[in-house]
Structure 1
Amino acid sequence: MTMTGVSPSTDQDTVGQGGMGLGGVGLGGVGLSGAAQDATEQCPGQGPATARGTTAGTAQAEQTGTGPDRADRADRADRKPAQPVPLRRNLRFQLLWGGSAASTLGLHVTDTAYPLLLLAMTGSSTLAGAFGALQMAASVLCGVHGGSVADRYDRRRVLIAADSVRLLATLSVPLAMALDAFSVAHALLVAVVTGATLAYSGPVRLLAVRSVVAPEQLRQALAQDEARMSGAGLAGPPLAGLLLGAGRAVPFLGAALASLLSLATACLVRFPGRAEPAAPADAAPADTVADEATGTTTGAAAAAKDSGALAGFRHLLADRTLRSTLAVVFGINLVGSAVVLPVIVVLRDQGVSSGGIGLALAGEAVGAMAGALLVARLHRLAGPGALLLAVAWFAVPLFLAPLLPGGAVTVFAALFLMGLGVPALRVMIDILVFQQVAEELRGRVIAATMTLFTVGMPAGLFGSGVLLDHVAPGTALAVLALLLALGLLPATFDRTLRRAGWPA
């Protein structure tokens, strides 16, 4: 179980292996009805704009000098709130959603196909784990710069550039195979390039979703995006196994097609290229609305004044509750990323086919899809800190499930149970962090969050391969379960985290 892509339910182009990237009229926008539609305009990503122009009643009042009652009625008509276009008719959102879905599906396919291919080519678990480790390491190392770029440069161009580079890198693999020139070094180089591009496209996709839906539709958009991530996670692993069975180049041709679709939507959809200016100082109290309810200090207004590349990290680490949250998710991702390779080896040793392994690994995605229906209920049952700890502790004994009889069925069931709580945690991060920060700082905060959540995953991915070269898969799983349990103890005794509440 991992939280990669915590990106709370928005794109999170996921990186590495395992189970954890707002509106105008017309396209994707905020539409109006009746006469008010002609008289008002909606600013992207914000609430209803102030109406401009005059209605017929106002014009008549001005021309005939009628009394104040008619003028008041006309003024109220001018201020009639705009009704947002339903998400299903928001073409910009749906195109971005489709592009993100294609991108995420392609990544899930390759995240499963590369380790299986390298394991078949070399027989080395270390090299199989090295692919995911290098991909994740590149994403982490470029993450700080990716967030800064998202806040300072045209986001749409950044997304197009990142998708283009990833497409070329993916296409190079089947081309090299056709020329009989594919090697382990080539695969590891593709891992580095792919990871680096995700560091730039991930924050931009998160910001793009927010820029093409109305604020009151954001939670609904996040829920739909969660379905995208879960669906891609469900389809990716078994699809990778099936495609690999059809030919070793086939999964990478499919991933290249997915990257092409993602690039096409980035070229077609226009969304705000830069962050809107900060709110005026007299609106600053809104930045601290969540303080009393959560015990956290968002400090968005103060942090927004910091234009440095590390401003996102300073914003996150300045608060005790957020620090504890980051530590717990770091532990989940570190250990969760290391679990996948031992599970693959266990199933392979049991004689399970590549397709069967892929189906077993899809259990977490199925659990996440079911868990998306439980988000509101889980948020009502527990505060964010208690929920985080409960989901993490629930996963500890499940790490040992692959050692039980049942093979792929048991693994599927264990991953399903792990995945149930992941959507609630992703939405929790969005509520506690991303929705509480100023727009001009949001890209760096998203990148900082992604970096801190995933910084340990390269070590987990690579370490699992090294561990498997020295101990049996069952021993490796027991060690990982013990490490997660020990890592959760400090947070479990942190009273501030346990008592944290939801923002008002």
Structure 2
Amino acid sequence: MTDAADDGGGTPAGASGDGLRGPRPLWRQRDFGIFWAAQTLSVLGDSFALIALPLLVLEATGSVARMGLLTAVGGAASVVAAVFAGAVVDRVDRRRLLIVCDLVRMGLYGAIPLVWLFGPQIWLLYVVLPLCEAVGMLFAVGYVTVVRGLVGTERLTEANGRLGATAAAAGVLGPLCAGLVAAWSGPAAAVGVDAASFGVSATCLFFVRFRTRTAGDERTGERQGLWRDLRTGVAFLRGHPVLRSLTVLLFVFSFLTLGLNDLVIYHLKHDLGHDDGTVGTVMALGALGTITGALLVARIRRRLGFGPTWTGAVAVCGLAFAGLGWARDVPVVAALSAAFLACVGVAGTCSMSLRQEVTPEHLLGRVTSAFWTLHYAAAPAGAALLTWAAEEQGTAPVALAAGAMCVLLAVTALFTPIRGSGRGRKPV
């Protein structure tokens, strides 16, 4: 790839519509590098909110069910936004959309520490988080659709793996710092750091030049409303055997696992009696697993193929989840969290890369939107149910049951077209 000089129409040189023009490594491509930095900064701050918002609720109410309710409300807003996110992304300038999403989240999250100066206001979290999750879904769909234009189809898995690895590295530092900030200054201050990170990310994105979509990519005349756009994305998923199977299995997986973060925090704080600093340390150590998974995913997929990689990752996720509630020592909780997050990263990167590889450019936003709408449709209810059950029955039996069902999903995948998408075979 050549560096960031435009080659006429705003297309970053080195990235064409169908792949690469040269073998220049990703780290030497200016636009991808800036985009990479923006995402890392955004995740660094976002990991503060991942810890701080549940801690704010737990500090004020002492209830894991209320933590789960906040997660459920945010998840529901994300699902609703996913319905129209693809249509929006396929219609507007994607660079501008990403910048606006970052700025909106900066303002919304920034309101929390300001209001908290006058005392806890739990209601504000139930307003801010759903709005941020909805905007975040728009950002996420847009983010997925621009990577191929930056690096080309041949390097999608590598690029996604690198984005995931550095995001995970930020995810290690973020929870660790968030736990320290929360212990010293309170969880609201940690949310303030999150708000600032979105401002820095927006500034970085301002300097990225994305590939200009061609008239064939746009095809705006074919789009006649949000529901038709969603049906178009669903139809593509239904017509692709592997994506169809993935969508169904991930629907159940997200139902079982969206509340895991709340469960781990509650287990550490309530069951084991540790402080906010310990929570941050455990989450940071767990995120090391995400780094490992992100760095290894391209190599593992090349060696084993999509099917074995994805299925094995989901199976290990289930085993790790099953053991979390029974772990009584902090190092064991951290190790199991790391194993779970590593395999979530491997499975997620494989799934996203496959979607990017097989979906036509002009459909990518709508297919991504439909995929995530279906993927997370039941997840908010699952998070609420998981945390309610943990409060009523304890974390150990709930984690064991959810983990066992995740393993069952991996076994089920062996009887779907996912199994056949192995090494040396293109997923179809």
Q: How does the TM-score come out when normalised to structure 2?
A: 0.87
Q: Provide the rounded CA distance (Å) in 1 between the counterparts of 2:155 and 2:5.
A: 12
Q: Provide the rounded CA distance (Å) in 2 between the counterparts of 1:481 and 1:224.
A: 28
Are residue 149 (structure 1) and residue 88 (structure 2) matched? yes
Identify the residue that residue 243 of structure 1 maps to in structure 2: 181
**1:357–1:408 CA contact under 8 A, matched in 2:** no
Equivalent position amino acid for 1:213 in 2: V
Are residue 96 (structure 1) and residue 31 (structure 2) matched? no
Identify the residue that residue 206 of structure 2 maps to in structure 1: 267
Are residue 205 (structure 1) and residue 143 (structure 2) matched? yes
Q: What is the DSSP-based 3-state SS (H/G/I as helix, E as strand, rest coil) of the residue aligned with 2:393?
A: coil
Identify the residue that residue 309 of structure 1 maps to in structure 2: 229
Q: What is the DSSP-based 3-state SS (H/G/I as helix, E as strand, rest coil) of the residue aligned with 1:309?
A: helix
Identify the residue that residue 331 of structure 1 maps to in structure 2: 252
Identify the residue that residue 282 of structure 1 maps to in structure 2: none
Q: How far off is 1:110 after superposition?
A: 0.3
**1:334–1:457 CA contact under 8 A, matched in 2:** yes
Q: Provide the rounded CA distance (Å) in 2 between the counterparts of 1:385 and 1:219.
A: 15
**2:323–2:399 CA contact under 8 A, matched in 1:** no
**1:147–1:448 CA contact under 8 A, matched in 2:** yes
Identify the residue that residue 8 of structure 1 maps to in structure 2: none
Q: Provide the rounded CA distance (Å) in 1 between the counterparts of 2:278 and 2:17.
A: 49
Q: Provide the rounded CA distance (Å) in 2 between the counterparts of 1:354 and 1:199.
A: 28
> Which residue, 15, 22, 32 being the options, matches 1:45?
15
Q: 1:216 to 1:482 in 2, by over 3 A?
A: closer
**1:28–1:212 CA contact under 8 A, matched in 2:** no
Task: Return 424-433 or 147-156, whichever deviates more.
Answer: 424-433
Q: 1:336 to 1:363 in 2, by over 3 A?
A: farther
Q: Provide the rounded CA distance (Å) in 1 between the counterparts of 2:164 and 2:336.
A: 21
Identify the residue that residue 456 of structure 1 maps to in structure 2: 378
Identify the residue that residue 426 of structure 2 maps to in structure 1: 503
**2:3–2:28 CA contact under 8 A, matched in 1:** no
Q: Provide the rounded CA distance (Å) in 1 between the counterparts of 2:18 and 2:130.
A: 43
Q: Provide the rounded CA distance (Å) in 1 between the counterparts of 2:411 and 2:149.
A: 40
Q: How far off is 1:216 after superposition?
A: 4.7
Q: What is the DSSP-based 3-state SS (H/G/I as helix, E as strand, rest coil) of the residue aligned with 2:214?
A: coil
Q: 1:339 to 1:431 in 2, by over 3 A?
A: closer
> Which residue, 122, 133, 141 being the options, matches 1:195?
133
Q: What is the DSSP-based 3-state SS (H/G/I as helix, E as strand, rest coil) of the residue aligned with 2:421?
A: coil
Q: What is the DSSP-based 3-state SS (H/G/I as helix, E as strand, rest coil) of the residue aligned with 2:4?
A: coil
Q: Provide the rounded CA distance (Å) in 2 between the counterparts of 1:373 and 1:156.
A: 27
**1:385–1:498 CA contact under 8 A, matched in 2:** yes
Q: Provide the rounded CA distance (Å) in 2 between the counterparts of 1:373 and 1:167.
A: 29
> Which residue, 352, 358, 361 being the options, matches 2:274?
352
Q: How far off is 1:479 after superposition?
A: 2.7
Q: 1:84 to 1:482 in 2, by over 3 A?
A: closer
Q: 1:164 to 1:312 in 2, by over 3 A?
A: same
Structure 1: which 5+ residue stretches go unaligned? 1-22, 31-37, 50-80, 280-300
**2:148–2:356 CA contact under 8 A, matched in 1:** no
Structure 2: which 5+ residue stretches go unaligned? none
Q: How far off is 1:194 after superposition?
A: 0.5
Q: How far off is 1:367 after superposition?
A: 1.4
Identify the residue that residue 197 of structure 2 maps to in structure 1: 258
Equivalent position amino acid for 1:309 in 2: D
Q: 1:422 to 1:488 in 2, by over 3 A?
A: closer
Q: How far off is 1:243 after superposition?
A: 1.3
Q: Provide the rounded CA distance (Å) in 1 between the counterparts of 2:263 and 2:158.
A: 37
Q: Provide the rounded CA distance (Å) in 1 between the counterparts of 2:161 and 2:402.
A: 31
Counterparts in 2 of 1:94-493, with a 5 A limit?
94-180=33-119, 182-248=120-186, 249-272=188-211, 275-278=213-216, 308-310=228-230, 311-348=232-269, 349-404=271-326, 406-488=328-410, 490-493=412-415
| 1:424-471 Cα deviation digits (max 9, x unpaired) | 323322342211111111111122222232223212222222213321
Q: Provide the rounded CA distance (Å) in 2 between the counterparts of 1:168 and 1:374.
A: 36
**1:337–1:461 CA contact under 8 A, matched in 2:** yes
Equivalent position amino acid for 2:196 in 1: L
| 1:124-148 Cα deviation digits (max 9, x unpaired) | 2121112222222111111121111
Q: 1:424 to 1:189 in 2, by over 3 A?
A: same
| 1:401-441 Cα deviation digits (max 9, x unpaired) | 23445521001111222233334323322342211111111
Q: How far off is 1:197 after superposition?
A: 0.6
Q: How far off is 1:102 after superposition?
A: 1.5
Q: How far off is 1:112 after superposition?
A: 1.4
**1:96–1:209 CA contact under 8 A, matched in 2:** no
| 1:221-259 Cα deviation digits (max 9, x unpaired) | 223212122213222322221111121232012111101
Q: How far off is 1:393 after superposition?
A: 2.0
Q: Provide the rounded CA distance (Å) in 2 between the counterparts of 1:190 and 1:42.
A: 36
Q: How does the TM-score come out when normalised to structure 1?
A: 0.75
Q: 1:425 to 1:483 in 2, by over 3 A?
A: closer
**1:276–1:439 CA contact under 8 A, matched in 2:** no
Q: Provide the rounded CA distance (Å) in 2 between the counterparts of 1:97 and 1:358.
A: 24
Q: How far off is 1:342 after superposition?
A: 2.6
Q: Provide the rounded CA distance (Å) in 2 between the counterparts of 1:430 and 1:497.
A: 14
**1:277–1:440 CA contact under 8 A, matched in 2:** no
**1:244–1:251 CA contact under 8 A, matched in 2:** yes
| 1:180-215 Cα deviation digits (max 9, x unpaired) | 3x4111011011110111121112222333333355
Structure with larger Rg: 1
Q: Provide the rounded CA distance (Å) in 2 between the counterparts of 1:441 and 1:219.
A: 19
Q: Provide the rounded CA distance (Å) in 2 between the counterparts of 1:465 and 1:442.
A: 34
Q: How far off is 1:47 after superposition?
A: 6.3
Identify the residue that residue 15 of structure 1 maps to in structure 2: none
